[in-house]
Structure 1
Amino acid sequence: MHHHTRAATGPLAVLVVTWNSAAVLPGFLDSLAAGMKGLDWRLVVADNASSDDTVGVVRALAPDATVVETGRNGGYAFGVNAALRAADRWADGYRAVLICNPDIRMAEGCAATLVEALGTPLPDGSRIGISVPLLYEEDGALIHSLRRESSLSRALGEAVLGNRRAGRFPRLSELVTAPAAYRARTTADWATGALMALSRECVTACGPWDESFFLYSEETEYCLRARDRGLATRLEPAALATHLGGDSRVSPRLWSLLCVNRVRLYRRRHGAAATAAFRGAVLLRELSRAALGRAPARAAVGALLGAPQSFQEV
């Protein structure tokens, strides 16, 4: 039996942040019955001012859902916080939170497996605060969703060796690629945020998501903040889901945002000298890719070299 520190009551709060998601939502809503099997759950959709019919689709296909129209595209963490505030107003509370991208398709029983894991004590005295599933691309390829915390040696390893090769060496890559890690219940510093279950304890201990990250690094920051509070992130390999967006090639603008936000987050947890070195390693990696003519890398180089104030935290 799991020993939860605080018995949380009420349904599972299923939170989805949408932005022009009308095309993928019907499939998502359709897959919920199987994915949520065995659970009492309630859906909250926070829509970041979609210009398509996202809100209409939710109202038509999921009339019982709570729809929060945030009024602007304030980013992913902004949407998560709007959805969390809506769930906080429920009279009966909620026992845990499931944060889903609308382009996720859960296999049967996925959510119950994730929620069941929450609160499990670990040998080091921490507990599972965040559980994540095995994620697959649409074509069935495994997505490497587990990550290590950023470090200078990892940024350099990725710059010199490239992600896939560096992934074999824990000190040289953020990406966890070892096949064994995805066959077992593996604890990681953080995991990509397409689908994650958070214990009520974790939501209470960590407070709101950090809205200063518009996109990318917000789930990293949240998982590291949870870990600081003794709440670990763990992969549950018995929970399966497909991510339609998967590792799709990102636009130059989004890739530069990802690179800049990695440095901003590093800056919060390390001193100025260490941050300068880390930023240099990230820059080295993007320069080597820009030399191969990759537009996203070129944009990232510009962003990393430009406006140094974007790396200074208020």
Structure 2
Amino acid sequence: MPGTVHTIILNWRTADMTIRALEYAVAAMKSVEGMITVVDNNSGDGSFERIASYATAADFERVHVVQSGHNGGFGAGNNVAMFNPLPEGGMPDYVYLLNSDAFPEPDAIRKLRDYLDSHPHVGLASSRIVGTDGVIHETAFRFPSVVSEFEGASRTGPITCLLSRYVVVLPVPESATEVDWAAGASLMMRRSMLERTGGFDEKFFLYFEETDLCRRARRAGWPTHFVPDSVVTHIGSASTGLKTMSRPPNYWFDSRQHYFRKNLGAGGALAANLAYIAGSLLFHLRCRIERRQGHDGPGHLSAIVRHGFSPRCKR
């Protein structure tokens, strides 16, 4: 029998967009056994009431709207419903995460489910993500490393060529293939893998949490695969507003630092920060020689230093 799926949509102050994502999810779940849970991450703006009222009025039989009780971030919000049983009893075979600003094609969820059904060794499967302008987003990645921090900060062609196998962003695969990690905008996860890894690490408020989960899954023998036949349209940063910021918010730097400390140890995190600083200084030296302005974002390098060399990660 095909596997059952529990779809989770996390809302934070984007009620209209979440309702739209819910409509798309309901349509995409028509041929899939399971349920849908919308978790309101303590929005405090009436989102929970609006979404719950809409789901009731629309008579969605398999939709549940719940309140997290506090905004602990992306991972904590999804963990609220991650291990919930199905209404008829028993646990779902898969948990599918869908961003509140992501809209799956009618067959997108089924194709991820079918892929995991036919590849029992795979722990996570992600979709091809397309922007509202039709541009395919880069959502398949290598794990960040000390070398990748230097390469990414240096932004220098010869260095990138030399260190190409460490570049974090992968070319978008044209066929299903294994990747280190994939963006969580549309990500299906095997429940047995989640039971072994324990879901998201809630010390990540936002960003790097799916990177960490995929890394833990890989260590436990569950790789991540990119499945381009599953297509989802994604707006991106609707809740965070990251696209419009001159530099990432403090919690991005905290999450980055926690990721390196957790996965590479204190020495590895120190090396990653020093590598980033060295690469950034090299980039700015090149800009000065070429007499052009470097675009790091105001305070970006100082934030790397401040958060990277603090005694412990802040929330």
Shared fold (TM-score greater than 0.5)?
yes
Offset at residue 304 of structure 1 (A): 3.0
The residue correspondences of 1:55-74 to structure 2 (distance < 5 A) are 55-63=48-56, 64=61, 65-74=63-72
Q: Does 1:34 pair with 2:34? A: no
Query: CA 1:169 to 1:30, structure 2 compared with 1: closer, same or farther past 3 Å?
Result: farther
Say which of 53, 66, 74 aligns to 2:46.
53
The residue correspondences of 1:122-271 to structure 2 (distance < 5 A) are 127-161=121-155, 166=160, 170-177=164-171, 181-245=172-236, 249=243, 251=245, 254-271=248-265
Identify the residue that residue 309 of structure 1 maps to in structure 2.
Answer: 311
Offset at residue 293 of structure 1 (A): 5.7
Distance across 1 between alignment mates of 2:13 and 2:105: 24
Alpha-carbon contact 2:8-2:78 (below 8 Å) kept: yes
Distance across 1 between alignment mates of 2:11 and 2:260: 28
Query: CA 1:157 to 1:39, structure 2 compared with 1: closer, same or farther past 3 Å?
Result: same
- SS in structure 2 of the partner of residue 24 of structure 1: helix
Query: CA 1:26 to 1:228, structure 2 compared with 1: closer, same or farther past 3 Å?
Result: same
Offset at residue 80 of structure 1 (A): 0.9
Offset at residue 168 of structure 1 (A): 9.9
- SS in structure 2 of the partner of residue 265 of structure 1: helix
Q: Calculate the TM-score normalised by the size of structure 2.
A: 0.83
**How big is each residue's C-alpha offset from its partner over 1:140-182, in whole Å with a ceiling of 9 and x where there is no partner?**
111110110111221111111269x9499642311112xxx42
Q: Where does the alignment leave 5 or more consecutive residues of structure 1 unmatched?
A: 1-6
Query: CA 1:41 to 1:166, structure 2 compared with 1: closer, same or farther past 3 Å?
Result: farther
Say which of 99, 102, 127 aligns to 2:100.
102
Say which of 1, 4, 9 aligns to 1:16.
9
Alpha-carbon contact 1:190-1:233 (below 8 Å) kept: yes
Distance across 2 between alignment mates of 1:61 and 1:232: 37
Distance across 1 between alignment mates of 2:79 and 2:5: 16
Q: Where does the alignment leave 5 or more consecutive residues of structure 2 unmatched?
A: 288-292
Offset at residue 19 of structure 1 (A): 0.6
**How big is each residue's C-alpha offset from its partner over 1:263-312, in whole Å with a ceiling of 9 and x where there is no partner?**
321222224333212112234556658973654x5145235325611359
Query: CA 1:42 to 1:162, structure 2 compared with 1: closer, same or farther past 3 Å?
Result: farther
Say which of 25, 32, 53 aligns to 2:18.
25
Alpha-carbon contact 2:74-2:206 (below 8 Å) kept: yes
Stretch moving more, 154-163 or 137-146: 154-163
Q: How many residue pairs get matched?
A: 296
Distance across 2 between alignment mates of 1:8 and 1:114: 11
- SS in structure 1 of the partner of residue 192 of structure 2: helix
- SS in structure 2 of the partner of residue 140 of structure 1: coil
Q: RMSD of aligned C-alpha atoms? A: 3.0
Alpha-carbon contact 1:256-1:303 (below 8 Å) kept: no
Offset at residue 30 of structure 1 (A): 2.0
Distance across 2 between alignment mates of 1:186 and 1:195: 16
Alpha-carbon contact 2:237-2:243 (below 8 Å) kept: no
